[in-house]
Amino acid sequence: MIKRIRKLYRNKFWSSEKRATFLGVKIGYGCDIQAVSFGSEPYLIEKGNHVQITKGTKFFTHGAAWVLREKYPDIDFFGKIRVGDNVYIGNSALILAGVTIGSNVIIAAGSVVTKSVSDNQIVGGNPAKIIGNIEEFEKSILPFNLKTKGKSFSEKREILLSLNENRFIKK
């Protein structure tokens, strides 16, 4: 009973970063971790500095040994997951065992990352594939920089609703 109360307290009052550290995840400074699942071996996960991991992302440090357990009853395998510096992982991404994500990387929402990602890449899809690089991304979005970071909700709303259509990114 006390264990359940402690767990409820941690989930309600601790930040996601504090909970992750408590579970054994190694986290650098300046990170933003939202509602994330670190799986059953969170101590095998390491994050660099300035990493944002958004809601619904899941990390898997093992898996699929079940299909061999009748033949090998004690089989189990694991893979460490490492995330470099200055990384953004979009909503509901799945990161599989043994993956290393380099620095200056964007993982698109909903991606299934089955292989390591080198520095300065943007990946997306299932399975995740390279869809661009950070330099191209920077060039494409700078003309749309509206400099609203740090503005209040109402200030940002007022600015965004007053703009012409050509100030918004179109795909």
* Extents of the domains making up the chain: 16-145
62 catalytic? Reply is: yes
Ranking 33-37, 46-50, 116-120, 143-147 by mean pLDDT, the lowest is: 33-37
> Has residue 6 got a pLDDT over 90?
no
Portion of the chain with pLDDT greater than 90, in percent: 80
Query: What is the structure's pLDDT at 47?
Result: 96
Instruction: Report which of residues 10 and 71 the model is more confident about.
Output: 71
Question: Which of 1.20.140.10, 3.10.20.30, 3.30.365.10, 2.160.10.10 would CATH assign to domain 16-145?
Answer: 2.160.10.10
In order, the DSSP letters of 46-92 are EE-SSEEE-TT-EE-SB--GGGGTTTSTT---B--EEE-SSEEE-TT
- Point out the catalytic residue in the list 50, 62, 80, 82: 62
The pLDDT tens digits for 76-131 are 999 999 999 999 999 999 999 999 999 999 999 999 999 999 999 999 999 999 99
User: How does residue 10 score in pLDDT terms, banded at 50, 70 and 90?
Assistant: confident
Q: Would you state the pLDDT for residue 110?
A: 98
pLDDT digit string, tens, across residues 136-153: 999 999 999 999 999 999
Task: Say yes or no to pLDDT of 63 above 90.
Answer: no
Task: Say whether pTM exceeds 0.75.
Answer: yes
Give the largest Cα separation in the chain, rounded. 66
Cβ pair 76, 94 in contact under 8 A = no
